[in-house]
Structure 1
Amino acid sequence: MRNNREIGSEFEDTAAAYLESKGYVILERNFGDRKGEIDIIAKDGRELVFIEVKYRRNLEKGDPAEAVHFSKQKKIRDAARRYLYRCHLGEDIPCRFDVVAILGQEIRLIKDAF
């Protein structure tokens, strides 16, 4: 039986392939530390995009996008600041936060989700 990390990694692979098919250039995956993680960091045109991937087999536990609640968003924003700092990028670089919500076999991209 697969653990949650293996399942998550599989769907992050699916999301990365989907994003690349939409023209995104993947820069990094699973960036972070014990304070927070960003699933995928990519470029979409001139914008740097921090992407959270959420998967649900069905709606029993709600829509996957609903799992990116306020406290999760804060952790992602904080991790994005650490990424900008570690890469010597200014906070004035154009960036946004997207969510890839996978429900069963359906993939939904929510640009500028928060």
Structure 2
Amino acid sequence: MNGADAEDAALRLLQRRGLKLVARNARFRGGELDLVMRDGAVLVIVEVRARSASRFATAVESVDARKRRKVMLAAQMFVAAHPEHAERALRFDVVAYDGEQVQWIENAFDSN
């Protein structure tokens, strides 16, 4: 599964679970947000990862400290560019595909 297919599948999964799409592939200097969703009043930043083989790391493990920092910085830029979301609670989720297996991790990491 390539990155675009994984993002499409993750979007469908999250929408079936009741989340609403706010933005997709939001690019900012230094990073990109795969999916920005709303779960009720919460703004959810979703990192989507796909691996066909986990020889070196699983899809979840590939969201390392460096990647988390980039996502958090991009999230700050997104909120600054969209002040209507400034008062919302923020959550960071990961949707990971290892081959055909999918894992959705809510609150995968936080901004602390």
Give me the TM-score of the superposition, normalised by structure 2: 0.90
Of 11, 16, 20, the match for 1:21 = 16
Instruction: Show structure 1 runs of 5+ residues with no match.
Output: 1-5
Q: Which has the higher strand share?
A: 2
SS class of match (2:83): coil
Q: Which residue of 2 aligns with 1:100?
A: 95
Q: Return the offset for 1:59.
A: 2.0
Asked if 1:44 corresponds to 2:39, the answer is yes
Q: Deviations over 1:47-90 (max 9, x none)?
A: 10000000011222321011111111011000000010001146
Partner of 1:113: 108
Q: Please, which runs of 5 or more residues in structure 2 have no aligned partner?
A: none
Indicate the residue corresponding to 2:81 in structure 1. 86
CA RMSD of superposed structures (Å) = 1.6
Give the superposition deviation at 1:104.
Answer: 1.0
Number of the residue aligned with 1:57: 52
Aligned residue type for 1:107: V
Write 1 or 2 for the structure with the bigger share of helix.
1
TM-score (normalizing by structure 1):
0.88
Aligned residue pairs, count: 109
Q: Using the TM superposition, give the Cα deviation of residue 34 of structure 1 relative to its aligned residue in structure 2, in angstroms.
A: 3.8
Moved more, 46-55 or 88-97: 88-97
CA distance 1:89–1:63, change in 2 (3 Å): same
| Residues 90/24 of structure 1: CA separation in 2 closer, same or farther (3 Å cut) | closer
